[in-house]
Amino acid sequence: MRRPKKYESGEATQYISRRAALRKLQLSLNDFRRLCILKGVYPREPKHRRRAQKGSSEIKVLYHSKDIRFLLHEPIVWTLRDYKIFAKKTGRDRAIKDFRNLKRRLALFPEIKLDHIVKERYPTFIDALKDLDDCLTLMFLFSTFPSLHLIPREQSNLCRRLTIEFLHYIIASKSLRKVFISIKGYYFQAEIKGQKVNWIVPHYYPFKPQSRQEVDFKVMSIFVEFFTIMLGFTNFRLFHGLNMAYPPQFPSNMLQDSEDTFKDESSFVSDRIAALNFELLRTDKVQEDEEDIDIDIDMDLLEQDGDSKRIIKMKQEAQETARLRTLFKGLKFYINREVPREPLVIIIRSFGGKVSWDSSVFAGATFDENDETITHQIVDRPSVSTQYISRDYIQPQWLFDCVNQRQLLPTNKYFMGESLPPHLSPFVDAKRDTYIPPEEKALHDPSLIETHAQSDDESEDEAAAEEDDVDQEALDAQLQLAYQQETAEYKKYGDADGVNEDEEDTDEYLEEEQSEEGSEEEEEEEEVDEKTKRLQAEKEKMSVQSGKVHKVNKRQLHKAEVDEHRLQARMVKPRHRDLFRKLIREKQSKEKEQWLLKKKRRNIEADAKEAKKQAKRDARKAAAAAAQAAAQLTK
C-alpha cells in the first residue's frame, strides 16, 4: 500500500483557498461573492491553519471543499456566466451602433431565479421563521432609503411593500409582545407560530447619502435580493393562515409610486404609514376574541401530574397573553404632528386600539381632533393651546411601558411637561449578574417599591427639615428676645416686693431635708445589698443583652480575598492558566462596569436632589421677597 505524502490527507484536503475556488468555479470575485451570499456559504476557520494551508504561514480566506463542490452544481452559476456573454454582446452592439440588435438583446436579459434556493435553505416553514430577524431588520432599513446609485428605487419600494404586508399580519394576528425605544431605532418582538421574532425599525431622519468607503451598499443589496424572495414566501404563508387574501389590496391612492412620490421623501413615508392604518379584508370572517387562545386544562390532570406547576404557569402566561391582545381595546388615540407615527400606529393597532392624526398634514386619518370619543392624545411638547377635558394628554412612552408591563399604567406620570420614569428594556434577563437599576428590581419584586418610595420620602423629609430648621432659628431668636425682656422686668419688680428673700429661705430648708433623707437611705441600702446581689446575678444570666456592633475591617477582607485568589491561581494547571486569566479579566471588567454604572446613578441622583433643593430655596426666597414687598406696600 502506498504511503500518502504530506498534505494529501487530513485537514489539508478539507479546506480550499478563495483563489483556488475561483479557478475551480471559473467566476470573477464579485460573482463568487454574490453566489456565496445567496447560497449561504461562508469562510471557515481551521483548527490548524498551517496544516490547512499546506505549510504556508500567510493568512488566507479558506472555505470547506464540500461547500465549493456543492456550488459546482448550482444553476445560478450558468446564469452568472450568461451575464458575461450578455455584457460582451451588448457592448459590441453599442460599439458598432447596432441599436436594433441591442434592443432585442436587452429584452432577453438573463434573470436569476432564487425560489429553489429559498426552498433549499429552509426546508420547513419554522426554519424560515427562525431566520427572520436579520431579514426583517435589513428590509426595514432599505424601505427607508431613497434611490441611490447602487440601490434602485424599485428595490426600496419592494422592501416597503413587503414590510407593510408583514406589519399587517402582526396587526391582524395581534402577535406583538415587546417594544423598546433605543438610539438605533424601535425594537419589536412578535410571537409567530411559537417562534419569537425580533426586528428593528430605524428612526426616520432626512436621509444623508453615505460614501462607498463607509458602507458597501452593493453587498447589502445582494442580501436584500435574497431576503425579498424569502419574505414574500413567508408573507404568503402567514396571510393564508389567517384566511386573508394575498397580496393585500390597498386603496388606489395608497402605495401608488410615481415621479412625485419618488422625489418627495415625506410623501413616500406618509403613504407607508397611511397604509398601516387601513383595515384589510378577510376571505372568511373569524372572531378574534381572547377566548380563542384560552387554554382549558383539566383539574384532574393537574392533580395527577407531578409537574403541574409548569402547566399552571403555562395557563397563566396564556391568560396574560389573552389580556395583552386586547390591551387598548375601546381606546381611541390622536397623534400630534410632532410625534413619530409609524411605531405608535403599529403598537396601537396591534392591541385593538384606534388611531388617527391631522388629516390636513398627513394622509390616512380616520377621525378628527375635535372628536369627543378620543380617550388619549399623544403629545411631545410642553403645552397645547386647546385642550379637551374628556381625554388624557400623554407622552409617547406611556404606550411602550404599558405594553412591556402588560397593563394600563396610570397616566399622571406621563402628562405633558412631566419628567418621565426610566424606560426599562424588556429584552434583558431579570436575573443577570450585572448592574440592575432599582426601578427594574421594584418591577420584578413589588416589595421593593416601598423602600424605593421611602428613600424618596426621606429626601423630601430632609428638605422639609432644612426648611423647619431655618424657620425654627428665626422663631428661637424671637423667643429669646421676648424672654430677655420678661426676665429684665421680673428682676426689676421682684426685688422691690421682697420675693428673692423668701426664695433663699425655701432653698435652705429643702437642702437640709434632702441631706437627712440621704443618710437614712444609705443605711437601708447596706442592709439590702447582700440579698440583692444574689438576685441581680441570677437576673443577669437570664436577661437578654443588647448585641455589640462588630466593625468590619475592609483591609483585612481585601487581603483575605487576594490570598484566596493566589491560592486558586497556584492550583490551576499550566495548560489552563491562559483560560483562568481570561476568566479573571472578564470578572474584573464586569465588576468595573457595574461599579461605574452605580457611580453614574449616584451622581445623577445627587444632582437631581441638589436641583430640587435649589428650586425650593429659590421658591422660598421668591415668596419671602413677595411677602416683604406686600408688607412695605401695606405700610
One-letter amino acid for residue 153 of the chain: R
Number of H helices, E strands in the chain: 23, 9
Residue 295 pLDDT:
40
Give CA separation, 452 vs 221, 446, 460, in Å. 50, 10, 13
Q: Cα 374–377–382 angle (5° rounding)?
A: 150
Q: Which of 24-28, 32-36, 201-205, 586-590 has the lowest mean pLDDT?
A: 201-205
- Pick 615 or 291 by higher pLDDT: 615
Q: What distance lies between CA 444 and its chain's CA centroid?
A: 16
What CATH superfamily is the domain 320-427? Answer: BRCT domain (3.40.50.10190)
Cell numbers placing 153: 428605487
Cell numbers placing 365: 386619518
* Cβ atoms of residues 143 and 272 within 8 Å: yes
> Nearest Cα to 105, choosing from 92, 121, 118, 117?
92
Residue 562 pLDDT:
86
Q: pLDDT category, 470, cuts 50, 70, 90? A: very low
Q: pLDDT category, 448, cuts 50, 70, 90? A: low
> Nearest Cα to 335, choosing from 281, 254, 276?
276
Is 608 in a helix, a strand, or coil? Answer: helix
Residue 33 pLDDT:
92
pLDDT digits (tens, 9 = 90+) for 340-368: 888 999 999 999 899 999 888 788 888 88
Residue 411: pLDDT above 60? yes
> Nearest Cα to 118, choosing from 235, 200, 218?
235
Q: What distance lies between CA 280 and its chain's CA centroid?
A: 31
pLDDT digits (tens, 9 = 90+) for 114-166: 889 999 999 999 999 999 999 999 999 988 877 667 777 788 888 988 999 99
Q: Prior bond to 247 cis, omega within 30?
A: yes
Residue 307: pLDDT above 80? no
Distance, CA of 378 to CA of 397 (rounded, Å):
9
pLDDT digits (tens, 9 = 90+) for 516-555: 555 555 655 666 677 787 777 777 777 677 777 778 888 8
Residue 309 pLDDT:
77
Residue 503 pLDDT:
45
Beta pairing class for 176-181 and 332-335: unpaired
* Cβ atoms of residues 473 and 623 within 8 Å: no
Percent of the chain scoring above 90 in pLDDT? 26
For the chain, what are the domain ranges?
Answer: 11-107, 115-208+215-286, 320-427, 454-479+576-630
**To the nearest 5 percent, what fractions of the chain are helix, strand and coil?**
60, 5, 35
Distance, CA of 584 to CA of 566 (rounded, Å):
12
Q: Which of 38-47, 203-212, 342-351 has the lowest mean pLDDT?
A: 203-212
* Cβ atoms of residues 227 and 237 within 8 Å: no
Residue 518 pLDDT:
57
Is 194 in a helix, a strand, or coil? Answer: coil
Q: Cα 341–323–166 angle (5° rounding)?
A: 45
Q: pLDDT category, 110, cuts 50, 70, 90? A: confident
> What is the mean predicted confidence (pLDDT) over 595-609?
90
Q: Whole-model pTM above 0.85?
A: no
Residue 22 pLDDT:
93
Q: pLDDT category, 634, cuts 50, 70, 90? A: confident
| CA distance from start to end of the chain | 124
The angle that helices 217-241 and 153-173 make with each other, rounded to 10 degrees, is: 30
Distance, CA of 274 to CA of 425 (rounded, Å):
29
pLDDT digits (tens, 9 = 90+) for 217-273: 888 889 999 999 999 999 999 999 888 888 888 776 666 665 555 555 666 677 778
Q: pLDDT category, 610, cuts 50, 70, 90? A: very high
Beta strands in 511-615 (DSSP E): none
> What is the mean predicted confidence (pLDDT) over 406-430?
88
Residue 369 pLDDT:
87
Phi, psi of 530 (to 5 degrees): -60, -40
Distance, CA of 46 to CA of 15 (rounded, Å):
8
Distance, CA of 447 to CA of 243 (rounded, Å):
47
Percent of the chain scoring above 70 in pLDDT? 77
> What is the mean predicted confidence (pLDDT) over 179-199?
92
One-letter amino acid for residue 244 of the chain: M
Residue 509 pLDDT:
43
Contact residues for 624 (Cβ-Cβ < 8 A; gap 6+) = none
Residue 294 pLDDT:
41
Q: Which of 8-17, 397-406, 460-469 has the lowest mean pLDDT?
A: 460-469
Cell numbers placing 497: 416686693
Mean per-residue pLDDT over the chain, rounded: 80
* Cβ atoms of residues 336 and 381 within 8 Å: yes
Distance, CA of 326 to CA of 65 (rounded, Å):
54
Residue 433 pLDDT:
77
Residue 487 pLDDT:
53
Residue 298 pLDDT:
44
> Nearest Cα to 203, choosing from 378, 343, 21?
343
Beta strands in 143-301 (DSSP E): 176-181, 185-192, 195-202
Distance, CA of 177 to CA of 196 (rounded, Å):
9
- Pick 609 or 211 by higher pLDDT: 609
Residue 505: pLDDT above 60? no
Cell numbers placing 149: 446609485
Residue 515 pLDDT:
56
One-letter amino acid for residue 478 of the chain: Q
Distance, CA of 55 to CA of 543 (rounded, Å):
84
Q: pLDDT category, 288, cuts 50, 70, 90? A: very low
Q: Contacts by 2-8 with C-beta closer than 8 Å and gap 24+? A: 7/51, 7/54, 7/55
Q: For cell 377635558, name the residue.
A: 389
Beta strands in 420-546 (DSSP E): none
